[in-house]
């Protein structure tokens, strides 16, 4: 039974640094898997990813050290079942607004009697197609649920969401949170920053793991001092675009004609 090291390290309160992966490519995933991050989250919320494209990415990263998370596009238990069956043990669920939603997600990720996950381990890569002895009995212990807190409602209900057994961690999404708080496109707005700091402190005080997306190293250190135990420090799409734009500009600006 594969051990969920992401979940274990969250419990051990070891800082884990991660990256959002949105290029939907198993080939670039392999480059990122060897780059030195503790975790990578395959984003299927804002990208063209579907289970059939997430699967080869999980396979490409399987022999590398980072722990792989998947962010599904919604809370559909059927979709959650597919991601668990193809081998994701940790799921990051967007836009979790209340304890009822959180409880439904906990159940979607677990086999009965704790949950409603359908059983077909002969079809599941996660179970090595019945090659993992006792998979169905151990799977519930190894799943890890990261709920995203990224709306005003989510903030208001934070304490009851955190009290749901089976919620392992809460991850703040600054972009959606800024929008929800009336500051669309400005996640650095003082009101958003203050809300993030307070939320991280409340999550950490609850004993659950706190996470946040933060690309500025100084701000990352600050958020860690507020209680963040796992941080996403960027995304592959931005890394590629920034490097490409910079390279093109360098040759256009000072070496007119060099690149033409």
Whether 189 sits among the annotated catalytic residues: the reply is no
Measured CA to CA, the distance from residue 152 to residue 191 in angstroms comes to: 12
Q: Which of 66, 72, 154, 174 binds ligand 3PY (CB under 6 A)?
A: 174
Q: Which of 6, 39, 83, 213 binds ligand 3PY (CB under 6 A)?
A: 213
Q: Taken in order 237, 239, 243, 249, is the CA torsion positive or negative?
A: positive
Q: Which partner from the list Mg ion, ligand 3PY, none does 72 bind, CB cut-off 5 to 8 Å by kind?
A: none
User: In the bound complex, what is the minimum distance in angstroms from residue 71's beta carbon to ligand 3PY?
Assistant: 8
The 3-state DSSP class for residue 19 equals: strand
User: In the bound complex, what is the minimum distance in angstroms from residue 260's beta carbon to ligand 3PY?
Assistant: 38
User: In the bound complex, what is the minimum distance in angstroms from residue 66's beta carbon to ligand 3PY?
Assistant: 18
User: In the bound complex, what is the minimum distance in angstroms from residue 183's beta carbon to ligand 3PY?
Assistant: 12
Place of tokens 């500051």: 183
Count Cβ atoms below 10 Å from residue 195 Cβ, excluding itself.
Answer: 21
How many of the chain's residues bind ligand 3PY (CB under 6 A)? Answer: 8
Measured CA to CA, the distance from residue 228 to residue 208 in angstroms comes to: 10
Taking CB under 6 A as the rule, does residue 97 contact ligand 3PY?
Answer: no
Comparing CB distances to Mg ion, the nearer of 97 and 150 is: 150
Taking CB under 5 A as the rule, does residue 97 contact Mg ion?
Answer: no
Place of tokens 């060099």: 258
φ, ψ for residue 128 (rounded to 5)?
Answer: 50, 40
Q: Taken in order 254, 258, 259, 260, is the CA torsion positive or negative?
A: positive
Q: Which of 38, 85, 97, 150 binds ligand 3PY (CB under 6 A)?
A: 150
Q: Which partner from the list Mg ion, ligand 3PY, none does 213 bind, CB cut-off 5 to 8 Å by kind?
A: ligand 3PY
Cα dihedral angle (140, 141, 142, 148), rounded to 10 degrees?
80
Measured CA to CA, the distance from residue 11 to residue 141 in angstroms comes to: 13
Taking CB under 5 A as the rule, does residue 173 contact Mg ion?
Answer: yes
The 3-state DSSP class for residue 249 equals: helix
Contact positions vs Mg ion (CB under 5 A): 150, 173, 176
**Residues acting as catalytic residues:** 46
Contact positions vs ligand 3PY (CB under 6 A): 94, 148, 150, 173-176, 213
């Amino acid at each position: 039974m594969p051990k969920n090291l992401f979940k274990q390290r969250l419990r051990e309160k070891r800082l884990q640094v991660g990256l959002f992966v949105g290029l939907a490519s198993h080939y670039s995933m392999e480059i990122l898997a060897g780059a030195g991050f503790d975790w990578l989250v395959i984003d299927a919320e804002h990208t063209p990813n579907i289970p059939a494209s997430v699967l080869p990415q999980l396979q490409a990263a399987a022999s590398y050290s980072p722990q792989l998370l998947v962010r599904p596009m919604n809370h559909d238990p059927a979709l959650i079942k597919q991601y668990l069956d193809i081998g994701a043990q940790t799921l990051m669920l967007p836009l979790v607004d209340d304890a009822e939603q959180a409880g439904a997600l906990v159940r979607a990720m677990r086999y009965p009697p704790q949950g409603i996950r359908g059983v077909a381990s002969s079809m599941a890569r996660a179970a090595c197609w019945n090659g993992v002895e006792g998979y169905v009995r151990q799977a519930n212990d190894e799943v890890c649920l990261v709920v995203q807190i990224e709306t005003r409602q989510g903030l208001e209900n934070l304490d009851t969401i955190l009290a749901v057994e089976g919620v392992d961690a809460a991850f703040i999404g600054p972009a959606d949170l800024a929008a929800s708080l009336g500051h669309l496109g400005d996640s650095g707005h003082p009101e958003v920053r203050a809300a993030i700091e307070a939320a991280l402190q409340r999550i950490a005080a609850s004993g659950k793991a706190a996470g946040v997306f933060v690309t500025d190293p100084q701000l990352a250190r600050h958020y860690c001092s507020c209680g963040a135990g796992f941080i996403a420090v960027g995304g592959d799409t931005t890394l590629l675009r920034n490097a490409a734009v910079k390279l093109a500009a360098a040759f256009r600006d000072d070496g007119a004609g060099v690149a033409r």
